[in-house]
Amino acid sequence: MWQLKEYHIGRFLDHFSTEKGKSLILNPLQDVKIILLAMAVFSSSLYFLYILLVIYFVQVILILKQILAKTIKKPKFTKKALFLTLICFVFYGLILLLTENPIVILFFDILTPIVVTLIILSFQPIVVFARNRILKEAREIINQRKDLLVIGITGSFGKTTTKEFLNTILSSKFNVLCTKEHRNSEMGIVETILKDLRPEHKIFIVEMGAYKKGGIKMLSNIVAPKIGIVTGVTVQHLSLFGSLENLLSAEGGRELVDALPENGFIVLNGENKYCLDLYKKIDITKKIYTEEGNKIESDIYAKEIEVSKDGLSFLAIAKDKHAMHFNVNVLGRHNLQNLLGAILVAKEVGMSLEEISKACENIRPEQAGIVAKKGTHNINIIDSSYSSNPDGAVADLNCLNLFEGNPTSLKLRGARKVVVMPCLIELGTRSAQEHFKIGKKIAEVCDLAIITTKDKFEDIKKGAIENGMKTENIIFIENPQEIFHKITTFCKEGDSVLLEGRVSDKLIKLLSNEK
């Protein structure tokens, strides 16, 4: 859990406001152990010991079953994870060696989440010291590279997609390095610098993420960006930042603006109200892109926009009146914004619209973060399962609307549309409101909604029902096998299923006919 939350205390603690988080501490098995501990302390009876042995036996069987079914959650075995795991094993090994008292063993068993957390926190000073040395080394490497153009990308959404688009475009003309996958923290960025940055690289594209005020400032101090991009801001991670002001400082781009040199510039998404507000307030060199150029005088915008399940087609028009037609094999109109941001930066770096259009032909569907594929029973699977945010969920539901099925086979009933998604996390005080809005959108698009976590299920359900969805068609199911059964009995050939956010890998494999 600590690794999943990137060893970030705020993210780790926020998890315990969710149903899954609470179940790690408060669950039937834990309750029974606490009762047994009380029995052992206040009673001389040995019955508690026999019951305890049965419980541990059952636990072993359940864990073995999870291992055989390949459903047990394992950490990624990094050096840090291996070291911390070893320390935990040593600690519990000593407990077993130093005592044969089952009461003591049961006590430490119950306290395992707290013990592991304390062990991790106790080593944080050492981790911070080692991290700071590595950060300094990376900073020195960047400072020595006067010929290197660094482009920093931040925002609440669209960072990875914009980075991937821009990397593909610029790589057609320049020697480019970019941060890997979704690794946008200081250690992910530093690892790229130390392992992959070479003298031949002339452009370094850096995806920059943060969970607190000052986070983007710290990353900017390492990589020294000359060009900044803010892809858009939403209330995702609001609970971690503590306030909208703090969020706007980091993911909203203010810290990135302050970090740019005098000869640098910032690129902003004019379709996002927070970016638009920042554009109006700052007085550095700034560029802006919008979908159709009707909100503000844009440096680049699009006309003749055509959106289909096969991709995006549009005419990009620059402020200097140069125009070029684009055909890009990515799904979803929302990716138009990510493309325009990448196109604008590439143009400012020295590429012509003709060169950029040609380079965009090399963009792959998976770089957009949402991919359509045929699944079991020829059901359309729209996979957007890496992560989610309120704006992204609405955009992906709009993508689902593109799939109308096979008119021949579906002429009697029309194509059915299903969404499978967990509730969103880290939205703070805006959580209920945002889930209600998502529920309304689900009712507008879907025939069936399967929600895989309980946290804000009632808010989603309320929004969906208020917008006309039948109660029986918005349901909570957690088990991947049960979800698969529900989908395959509800859907036929030509129907479509959107996998939104972090759904089970097992479900994805079942629906995709993967082994």
Classified as helix, coil or strand, 415 is coil
**Do residues 366 and 343 touch, judged by C-beta distance below 8 A?**
no
What count of other Cβ atoms lies within 10 Å of the Cβ of residue 476?
Answer: 15
Give residue 414's pLDDT.
67
pLDDT of residue 411: 40
Q: Cβ(329)–Cβ(363) under 8 Å?
A: yes
Instruction: Please tell me the distance from the alpha carbon of residue 102 to that of residue 54, in angstroms, as a whole number.
Output: 13
For residues 161 and 241, the answer to whether their CB atoms sit within 8 Å is no
> In whole angstroms, what is the distance from residue 5 CA to residue 9 CA?
8
Q: How far apart are CA 185 and CA 374, in angstroms?
A: 34
CA 515 vs CA 357, 371, 384, 411: distances in Å: 38, 19, 20, 33
The pLDDT score that the predictor gives to residue 410 is 40
Residue 427: the pLDDT is: 85
Tell me, what's the pLDDT at 47? 78
At which residue do the structure tokens 């070893």 appear? 86
Predicted TM-score (pTM) of the model is 0.85
Which class in CATH covers the domain with range 146-367? Answer: alpha beta
CA distances from 491 to 74, 110, 308, 407 (A): 33, 44, 22, 15
Backbone angles phi, psi at 412, to 5 degrees: -85, -25
With DSSP H G I counted as helix, E B as strand and the rest as coil, what are the percentages for the chain, rounded to 5? Answer: 50, 15, 35
- Reading the chain (515 residues) residue by residue, the pLDDT tens digits are 888 888 888 878 888 877 778 887 888 888 888 888 888 888 777 777 888 888 889 889 989 988 887 777 788 888 889 999 999 999 999 999 998 888 888 899 989 988 999 999 999 888 888 889 999 999 999 999 999 999 999 999 999 999 999 999 999 999 999 999 888 989 899 999 999 999 999 999 999 999 889 999 999 999 999 999 999 998 877 778 888 899 999 999 999 999 999 999 999 999 999 999 999 999 999 999 999 877 789 999 999 999 998 899 999 999 999 999 999 999 999 999 999 999 999 999 999 999 999 999 999 999 998 999 999 989 999 999 887 888 889 999 999 988 875 444 444 456 899 999 999 988 888 899 999 999 999 999 999 999 999 989 999 999 999 999 999 999 999 999 999 999 999 999 889 999 998 898 889 999 987 66
Q: Residue 405's pLDDT is what? A: 52
- Per the CB < 8 A criterion, the answer to whether 227 and 152 are in contact is yes
Q: Give the pLDDT confidence score for residue 515 in this predicted structure.
A: 60
Domain ranges of the chain: 9-122, 146-367, 371-511
Q: Please, is 343 exposed, middle or buried when counting C-beta atoms within 10 Å of its C-beta (0-12, 13-18, 19+)?
A: buried
Residue 130's pLDDT is what?
Answer: 87
Residues 6+ apart with CB under 8 A from 232: 155, 156, 157, 158, 269, 271, 272, 274, 275, 337, 391
CATH of 371-511, one of 3.90.320.10, 3.30.70.600, 3.90.190.20, 3.40.50.620: 3.90.190.20
Give the contacts of 238 (CB within 8 A, at least 6 positions apart): 244, 247, 426, 427, 428, 429, 430
The predicted pLDDT at position 409 comes to: 40
Fold agreement (146-367, 371-511): no
How many residues belong to the chain?
Answer: 515
- What pLDDT score does 20 carry? 77
- Which residue, among 198, 159, 151, 211, has the nearest Cα to 181 in the 3D structure? 159
